[in-house]
Structure 1
């Protein structure tokens, strides 16, 4: 889990026990980076090694380890993403030799195999969380609002990174009460610049802080993967309210009426009473999954971004996107050339999500469905007389069909027809021709 202090613990260990490593301490961040390249670069620039160019790359790495200064060495591999095939390919071949003088310390959000000596970190206890706030904000200030501080720690889930973010903010704003800060947090002010600005030392960034803080809720759902998957699928909707019926159409695949009702009930249970409450005593009540006055739903914008990153890691991501696109294509096909007021009202909630498909998810549209989101959006605008809004959708439709399907495809001709009809409706007869 992110935000519990793995990197900080490794850093403090390296500093506290530096005398135990006369051969040096070397820190390698490995998430998204190549360990072998870092080792060779370190050998050349920091150790002053002259590595023979004729050696194969793996041999160059071995050369570095073989010519490392004498004495016990601490090698820190920070933020290993996984211990699966990626680890075996990008990290394991470049590890130091199995000699007692090389000590390797690994930080990771994933649990390694049984062969590793492991220290599991968790969120802080109530007492430790309060003590951290006292160190950041001041003992007198925390003890003066002790009940409010306890409530704040609980709201943050005792997550060290979340506590540090808020603690630094309180320290920078000495006139703010803790109750006032919690009120801002409860109103989803975690996205506010004041809460997420880097410190004077430049140690923190907004994206890392928010993502790590929300990791706690994600981790709480580990025993209910269906809820995690549902969160990921909800992130495909645009940052706008959506009707739950659209979610059902995306998720439920059966056509049998009895089976549909059963799965519909299970999905509602998952949403409202079983899975979501385990994330943070109800995401809906915490304003993470919002239930609007219109009885539609909407994800908090930062939670949506968080779920999108999780979606990218799922093997089912492509199928989820394809299902979402097909659902929205069905909506687009229902938009008539001359929609009535009632039809416009009925389809309006889906328009932002149809636009999301047309702007972000076109790669997951089937060729036979490619024009549907664009022409549906165009008809929706044209039917209301907003020709200036319809034209860009028809133009984009023509552009993407030409690019993906080829000039001779029938949908290119269809796109041209839509544009011509629009121009004619506007009296732009020369362009229509």
Structure 2
């Protein structure tokens, strides 16, 4: 790429040490071309691959591309699936190889919504490099670009056009370089114009530019030289090619399917005129009246004039592509297909001075094509089938906009009704993202509820989870693995919120979808474990046991006897047996789960602390207090050391050890543990959180028991203790 060698070297130097860079500059300066050139010329430095995406439809493109190139499952929302794709791509690269991701056309006003949610988290040693193009600032490190200098423009012209034409009139060549003002898009159009007409001299082209430059540009966004070059090239196009360019401008941003353009042209062709109906036979007295009054016979209706048409779309497409300035090819040219793109500045340029009636005619033709296409949309489709359809979503939205403009404010207008039909089709394509947004909203509300403990927040999150399940069932087919993934995730959330019945229903449906011989056995084991745990929580022990047993068997077979997931299954089956009072059956499972976690995860891992806590609780239930105490103490020590002295899990260990001392009637030892537990819970979770309320209830029960045992002297003078003592010992007012 002539004249950008320094920028290319600077981009490479920056990406060698940093993960992100933005190419910033005004429209028409060649940002996209610079990014493409860097990806092509430096691809040997990116052994992990180079990929190009458009910012306007980034989520759909990323999800589809990552799925095509990496072994992902359609069981998550776009954001989660893309995040998994980034992780797997980075793992595939390893520490020795890097990969380059180019995102073109990032608009600052859409950056937070269209791009940020789908970028991976920054990691110091990440192998992924991101290069974006933008017209304005995004907060990224930037490589700015400016117009090319005169020497570079001259070299560019000499290399691509006949140098004899340039040297024949040096003054005209210098004038042309001056008029183009270093804007790469203007230079490309000038070269295409000169190459398209070998008889055109440099002087004649300059004269044309000067003629246009005498008038100010009609749109301020265009530099004068670029505007003039666009105007000159536009005037040299034949009317069908101009009409085709205008038609292309009606589509949405991004890739344009040539099939849509051809079908729109076909829609616009007028049907053959219908034969005129014969006039009614006149009665003789009517003819006599005409003779007497000398009236002329009624005029015949004129034949309709054929609407202007694009006579040969294939030839016109070839002419435009040869001109290289209206549309850029995005795929191998096919007589019947291919994808193309129009530069945003050109879309603005070609629609000026377009008669409203003619523009409305073509807008209707495009809307008919969109309607025919939308009629083929399935009511339900798995995510992998939806991805190709979503490629046309920007053009469907453009057709809706055209119909809304034509309809005006009248909702009963046929155009408005047709727009509503297309919006329903667009809604079907967007149902997945809509359900995803509902799930994300529920997650956010759930996170807030965990922090505040506010019942209203929990209720809002629960309502959003239930609404998300309804949307998932409406969007995705009954056998969709993505549907199963959503339902499985939501079942776990419902379990945490205590809605076991709804969680069981979702988990059972998810398991029925994935429980097939061809499904990854680890996935089946995970789904079995979730449903079995929910059944145990609900108290349906007979339904829970075979599910948990089967999950354990699969994990032992597939993952091995000493895998952490195997330890989870052992723990959950032990929890079931403990709930049934089958302590002898539960104990060896708890012990084996603890051994695995200590060996594989480490003696100080939080999961090891959980196993110690649960085994201690089993011993406490059996009144084996001497065996329970050291396990409770060790669990508390791990949580204090690893999670922190004021972590809510540390508060749980304090509460459990206090409960053990209470069972042993060691009230003076239990009191300080309860007080410390409550201090943590109030500070971290708030007074209204369910865990805080449960802690207060336990402590109040301790004080009540101490009073009944006539041992109040064993308690401290802590303000909270004394306050509860006073409440419980003061007789109520009569």
**What TM-score comes out, normalization by structure 2 length?**
0.28
Q: Between Structure 1 and Structure 2, whose CA radius of gyration is higher?
A: 2
Higher relative contact order (CA 8 A, sep 6+): 1
**What TM-score comes out, normalization by structure 1 length?**
0.45
